[in-house]
Structure 1
Amino acid sequence: MRKNAVVISDLRVVRGGRPIIDGLDVAVPAGSVVGLLGPSGSGKTTLMRSVVGVQDHVTGTVEVLGSAAGTPALRRRVGYMTQDASVYTDLTVAQNLRYFAALADVPSPAEAVAAAVATVDLGGHEKQRVGTLSGGERTRVSLAAALVGGPELLVLDEPTVGLDPVLRRDLWAVFRRLAAAGCTLLVSSHVMDEAVQCDRLLLMRSGALVADTTPDELLATTGAPDAERAFLALIDAAGESAADVGKTTEETAR
């Protein structure tokens, strides 16, 4: 039986006096690519920050690779790629990666940097300043920075946003190779055609989990012809259920 890389129980995150995530339970199987999908504002980034251990005002249990999220022991075991570029544009590719390798206390930084560069196919760009790279290349540098510690869990927040279809395809090929090598990936996206690239799907709406399923199960359950229409069907159903609950509560109060 496959173990879970992440186990979340009764997660609650409050911001500005209101719950962003309220009582979420979910598990991420080890060695798989898990897609975290949902519209903007659904709580995807908040959930990912909770997994990495950098989110404030969190209650509940978030266990990552057998330890509490954010503990020092996970520093090298978990890689995190944020939505915005997390690298320094005035440094070269190699300088950025050496810096992140030092932060992760990598024992053989030169080897780790070379391996990360090779994984994201940036060979020949090591001495180039990041500010002179294309948008797609900068995304690859950010991914390399998340990989340089040799993580067992990779948390990627909308890594393909703004990229053209060819670059998106190439990045997903990298993700699949990493998973085949044993890495667990939690990848957020609002691009529904990326759902079919995942082993498992977590679909969110308004801070709640709408479905925990596979791409095949998603299509079979909804009867939709593609992932986007399947997701919209679930989102609409979830919205109707919430409206019904609100209506019932209001009638009961009367």
Structure 2
Amino acid sequence: MEKLGLEVLAAGFGLGLVWLFLARLRSGRARHGLRGAYFSACAQLFQRPVTAATPGGFPRLNGGYLGQRFDLQAVPDTLTFRKLPALWVLVTLPVPLPLRATLDVMVRPTGVEPFSNFHTLDEQIAPPPGFPEDCALRSDHPSALPPHDLLAPHLGLFDNPHVKELVLSPKGLRITFLAEEANRGRYLIFRDAELGAVPLRPETLLPYLDALLALQQDILAQETAPERRTA
């Protein structure tokens, strides 16, 4: 009788493990589906949007907006030293520009930003007047940076506390912003760091697209200004 009881207990334990495995499998599939749809609402902003899967389950979207081709990436940051896991969105305008150096402006750098090449740039620069007080600047060629009067009108980007980074380079422009943080209660109690369950809203993304286009136009306008053509 005792042996039969142990067999029943073992069978119940085994069924419990199977149920737990299947539940986790269903949960993982659902999570992957939600992540894969993260840019679905924003696709309407673009002409001929193309979406590709990434190893982390989040999509990468490429599409046309007002005559320019943009690239969107969602990068989760679950490093343990952060207060809360975060989801960063990288909005990139990959277009050749008449710049001779890369400038990376990062606010509140932590030393480890998985979405950025900030710390691979050789030279750190003291922020000029008008830049955010808590920002750091790095470049690969400090003597060839764009003039301050070009950047000044665009520094209002950092009035938005979600904006983390602005990159200008000969290959294009990028804004990185904080899209989401994990739910504090679920993370502290259950270590649940799920991100991206709700698609990014188009009205959240749109100002960043317009900001990059405005910056691109100013860079091109300065390059073709009369004093530069006659220099």
User: Normalising by the residue count of structure 2, what TM-score does the alignment of the two structures yield?
Assistant: 0.28
User: Normalising by the residue count of structure 1, what TM-score does the alignment of the two structures yield?
Assistant: 0.27
Bigger relative contact order (CA 8 A; separation at least 6): 1
